[in-house]
Every structure is written in C-alpha cells, then in structure tokens.
Amino acid sequence: MRPTQILRSGGDAPVGRHGKFLGGWGAFGGMPQKGIITYTLSSNKQNPIAGAFHDAIFNTWRRFGSQVLYIAPPMIFFYYAMDWAIHRNHHLNSKHGRAEASDE
C-alpha cells in the first residue's frame, strides 16, 4: 500500500483534478449540482405560531397522561401521610392529647 492511499483513505473514490480526495461524506469539494430549484417563503411572511395553541393542548394532555401514574400515587400517599402527621401533632399538643400521653 502506498502512503498516499492512507492519506486519502476513502476507499476506491476518484481523485480530483488537483490530486485531492473529492468524495465521501458530504462530497466536499465536488462539482455543484445543476437543475435543482428550491422555493422558500420569506421569514417575515411565515406564521410562527400557526397551530401552536391547538398543539399545546393535545401535546400537554399526551405528556400529562403518560406521566401521571408515576407522579400521582406517591403524591397521594405523602399527602395522606402528612395529613395524618399534622392531625397527630395537633392531638398530642392539645389538652386531651397531653393527658393521654401522660397516662402512658
């Protein structure tokens, strides 16, 4: 294998007019293509928020529906645990709760 083939390292791609590799990914340095016509709309003529509110509603509902079973059960559990702890604390710090705790 010649040392120049290692530098080109493109397989069996053609060598360009000036001895440089002109192929591979993106075809860097290749001839420009002809006959391709593209049409674009000016950015100040586009409607950037077309359908945004409609898509936001359905996208939010889809994302909420896919995550609610991961979030809701722990939140419900900890809400009731915290509610029980607050009521238990109020009971133990009340007159009746202190009397009940001192009897034990």
End-to-end Cα distance, the chain:
93
Q: What is the pTM of this model?
A: 0.46
Q: 51 burial class (0-12, 13-18, 19+ CB within 10 angstroms)?
A: exposed
Would you list the domain boundaries of the chain? 3-29+56-103
Q: What is the reported pLDDT for 5?
A: 53
Q: What is the reported pLDDT for 8?
A: 53
For residue 21, the cross-strand partners are: 15
Calpha distance 52→26 (Å, rounded): 35
Grouped pLDDT means (10 residues each) for the chain, 104 residues:
54 56 58 75 81 91 94 97 97 91 76
